[in-house]
Chains A and B, each alone.
Chain A
Amino acid sequence: MSKIEKALKRAATERHLALVPASASKQSPVSEERALMPAAGASTALELQARARSSAAIALMRESTPKKTNELAERRIIFPEMGENPTVKAFREVRTKILQATQGRNCVLMVTSVTGDSGTTFVALNLSSAFAFDEGKTALLFDCNLRNPRLHLLFKEHAVSGLTDYLENPTMDVGDIIHPVGIERLRVIPAGGRREIPAEYFTSVRMKGLLDSVRARYPERFIILDSPPMTESADTQILADLCDYVILVVPYGTVTQAQIDDCVKGLDRKKLLGIVFNNEPQVPKFGRRR
């Protein structure tokens, strides 16, 4: 039992959290999420209420075992203490641009790439971290790359339940697949047990319902889908239909203009927010240990 959960229990007993759902905890998110779903866009008053609630909930999202900065650095995950690192700056820039596009509302954002090994997971994970930098915001990262999942590596036990488990098992609760990863305000839904026909999962009503529910649950929660490359999987197309915005990752010195053209053709231009040019070579600064 984590510290947060204990704190929540204490809070509940002290009636501090009459309006605050324990979304971060694994205990009771399902009922609350379901109950609060219609409230999301109903009225301004309700929205304000929901925002206040989510802010409070975020405030309570405390990591039981936050990862240390050197571990994050080793895993190539950005953290606020990195300061003026150009990579951090770049992700902040992306975040700002997304917020400008969504006018501050939360959204479902798909991160895909032109080819494999483009660093989609890196971009998706760090973008989520960038969102989570803001103490008023939280991020939920989906690992939708079912053929080649990566995010489960963040966990000590690799065989944590994930997306496929949830989609296959109707009795499973959303809360069961949302896992903390040791980064403040960031939750991850791993891919789950590997399956061979992922498109079938994504076309299911349950998938759409899942996305809708997690989006509506908290207005300050940004949902980011780490999806497979456009050229390698048909899943991406289906996911693109489900999400609000798409970000295309173009790695440095790997793809040609024709490949980009092909990808862009397959995407809805309105949803396509833009391109993140990834992995630009940089001479490391040896003098300063991070």
Chain B
Amino acid sequence: MPILTEYLVKILINEAFRYRKAIVISFAVILATFTVVGTLWPKGYTVYTTIVVDERNIIQPLMQGTAVTTEVTDRARLARDIIYGRKIMNQILADAGWLESNPSPQEQEEIIKRISAKTTIANVGRNLIKVEYQDTDPERAFKTTTRIAELFIAESLAGKSAESLAAFGFIDKQVTEYHEKLTKAEEALKEFRSANLDAQPGSDADIATRLNNLQTRIEEATRDLRETEIKKMSLEKQLSGEAETASAVSRENQYRTRIAELQSQLETLRLSYHDTYPDVVRLRHQIEDLKQAIQVDQQQREQARASGRTVIDDTVINNPMYQQLRRELSATKVQIDTLSARITQARQQLQSELERGKRMQGGAAKLAELTRDYQVNREIYQDLLRRRENARVSMNLDKENQGLTFKIQEPATRPLQPTGPRFWHFVLAGCLLGIILPIGMLYGKLNIDGRIRVPSIIADRHKLPVLASVPHLWSPAETATVRREVQWLSVLAGVTVLVVSLVGVLRLLKGW
């Protein structure tokens, strides 16, 4: 039943009084227990030291990008791994005086566990590691802490140095290996080159170009040849239809034309003159002569035809067209011969180029492989060379303790005051807990308990008037008993507090 806040204090007081015995006794028991625990609680002396991890020294900017300084992200974790290791722990056992009592190996194991449990290692800043150790003996705490820090630094530096040395060794080995590989690849490439002289990178492209050219040339020549042949055929056709000579029919015609002219002149003259007029006579003579000449011409032609021989006479002339065609034809025939020869040659060349190309294909693949091998090896080799130099610098850095450096920033000091909960802490806690615990339990009980403790709840929930709330009526005998009880309980609480105070004062005086 949740209790209304307004009644809470009253009910708590009443209930506390009701359970007075339990409350006072539990207070006394708790306080006494805490006091005893506080008395027996071992005094702890805490010693701490801080180690600064300096990675920003003067070397780093100089070696930027060249030397790789060891990266430490969670330094505390690494430190823990190193410190809790058996190597350092054994050293600490020996140095901090743990082995004075000659513990057995099992005991040593226990001691190591205890030291580990009491040592806290934490990152306090970005580069600060805090090592804290607690012990009951201040001197031993101091020694242990100091040794832990020293050994940690020594171990870390040694570890780092070894690490970079190992890295350099490894890279160096790799360099040698790749050097060999590279030499082999170079050798193979050289051999292949000398065996296949034309095996040059890009020769296949060259061949392809030439093949193309040849093809084009063959095609062009073939086309020209065909054209030329057509031309030849056409010329021959033309030649067959053309006469070798042309008759000079024109002379006879000239004669006749002259006769006609002369006739007309004669006619004209005869109009005015007699036939005897000298001019008329001359004209008649001229006409006669011309007629005679025509006859001679005709006779000669017939005679020649009859004899079958060519008579070159004035009337026959060479045909110029025929001559022209004959010239062209002969030129065309020459061209055809030329073109045919060119095609044949080009075909031969094409064939040889094709063969060369085929030969080249195999060689190029091999060459590409060899070249690739060579290039890859060369790149790795060069990279490794660079890395080896970096590693060498890193190694030297670590050798000189110039890389990641550890410095003790705050050295451990001999503790003067014990740490951890003190006696009065326990007493205070006992007092508080002795009061809070029983009251709290009572409060819890009241909250869980569903029984009615507040009359107004009845009025609210059951709609019943509450006539009165009757307080417990103490009879004198009861009051006397209660008084006695309260007195006893007061004495008990008082005695407990007194004893605790006495113990505290004694501790103060004796300096326990």
User: Are B464 and A123 within 8 A (Cβ)?
Assistant: no
Residue of A nearest to B487 (CB): A286
CB distance from A36 to the nearest CB of B (A): 32
Enumerate chain B residues within 8 angstroms of A98, measured Cβ to Cβ.
467
The answer, yes or no, to whether A70 is at the interface (CB within 8 Å) is yes
Residue of A nearest to B17 (CB): A283
Residue of A nearest to B11 (CB): A281
Tell me the complex Cα distance, A275–B465, Å. Answer: 6
Q: A252-B453, A272-B464, A284-B479 are in contact. Are A87 and B17 (CB under 8 A)?
A: no
Enumerate chain B residues within 8 angstroms of A278, measured Cβ to Cβ.
470
Q: Which of A87, A91, A260 lies in contact with B458, CB distance below 8 A?
A: A260
Q: Which of B14, B458, B477 lies in contact with A282, CB distance below 8 A?
A: B14
Enumerate chain B residues within 8 angstroms of A257, measured Cβ to Cβ.
450, 452, 457-458, 461-462
Q: A254-B451, A257-B452 are in contact. Are A279 and B14 (CB under 8 A)?
A: no
Task: Count residues on chain A whose CB falls below 8 Å from chain B CBs.
Answer: 46
Q: A74-B475, A278-B470 are in contact. Are A283 and B13 (CB under 8 A)?
A: yes
User: Are B451 and A280 within 8 A (Cβ)?
Assistant: no
Q: Which of B15, B17, B483 lies in contact with A286, CB distance below 8 A?
A: B483
Enumerate chain A residues within 8 angstroms of B471, measured Cβ to Cβ.
86-87, 90, 279-282
The answer, yes or no, to whether B482 is at the interface (CB within 8 Å) is yes
User: Are B452 and A255 within 8 A (Cβ)?
Assistant: yes
Tell me the complex Cα distance, A252–B451, Å. Answer: 8
Tell me the complex Cα distance, A74–B450, Å. Answer: 33
Q: Which of B14, B466, B482 lies in contact with A277, CB distance below 8 A?
A: B466
Tell me the complex Cα distance, A50–B217, Å. Answer: 161
The answer, yes or no, to whether A247 is at the interface (CB within 8 Å) is yes
The answer, yes or no, to whether B309 is at the interface (CB within 8 Å) is no
Cβ < 8 Å to A, chain B residues 1-45: 13-15, 17-18
Cβ < 8 Å to A, chain B residues 470-504: 470-479, 482-483, 486
CB distance from A9 to the nearest CB of B (A): 38
Which of B17, B18, B453, B470 has most A Cβ within 10 Å? B470
User: Are B464 and A274 within 8 A (Cβ)?
Assistant: yes
User: Are A282 and B479 within 8 A (Cβ)?
Assistant: no
User: Are B473 and A78 within 8 A (Cβ)?
Assistant: yes
The answer, yes or no, to whether B416 is at the interface (CB within 8 Å) is no
Q: A123-B470, A257-B457, A286-B479 are in contact. Are A274 and B17 (CB under 8 A)?
A: no
The answer, yes or no, to whether B320 is at the interface (CB within 8 Å) is no
User: Are A261 and B462 within 8 A (Cβ)?
Assistant: yes
Tell me the complex Cα distance, A38–B169, Å. Answer: 131
The answer, yes or no, to whether A264 is at the interface (CB within 8 Å) is yes
Tell me the complex Cα distance, A184–B246, Å. Answer: 194
Tell me the complex Cα distance, A126–B467, Å. Answer: 14
User: Are A281 and B14 within 8 A (Cβ)?
Assistant: yes
The answer, yes or no, to whether A268 is at the interface (CB within 8 Å) is no
User: Are A94 and B453 within 8 A (Cβ)?
Assistant: no
Tell me the complex Cα distance, A254–B458, Å. Answer: 13
Enumerate chain B residues within 8 angstroms of A85, measured Cβ to Cβ.
473
Enumerate chain A residues within 8 angstroms of B458, measured Cβ to Cβ.
250, 257, 260, 275, 277
Q: Which of A70, A74, A97, A250 lies in contact with B452, CB distance below 8 A?
A: A250
The answer, yes or no, to whether A290 is at the interface (CB within 8 Å) is yes
Which of A76, A90, A277, A290 has most B Cβ within 10 Å? A277
CB distance from A282 to the nearest CB of B (A): 4
Enumerate chain A residues within 8 angstroms of B249, measured Cβ to Cβ.
none
Q: A9-44 interface mask toward B, CB cutoff 8 Å, 1 = contact, 0 = none?
A: 000000000000000000000000000000000000
The answer, yes or no, to whether A75 is at the interface (CB within 8 Å) is yes
Known: A274-B465, A277-B469, A279-B470. 19 other contacts (CB 8 A): A78-B473, A87-B470, A87-B471, A90-B470, A93-B467, A94-B470, A97-B468, A122-B473, A250-B455, A252-B452, A253-B453, A260-B458, A274-B467, A276-B470, A277-B455, A280-B14, A280-B471, A282-B472, A283-B13
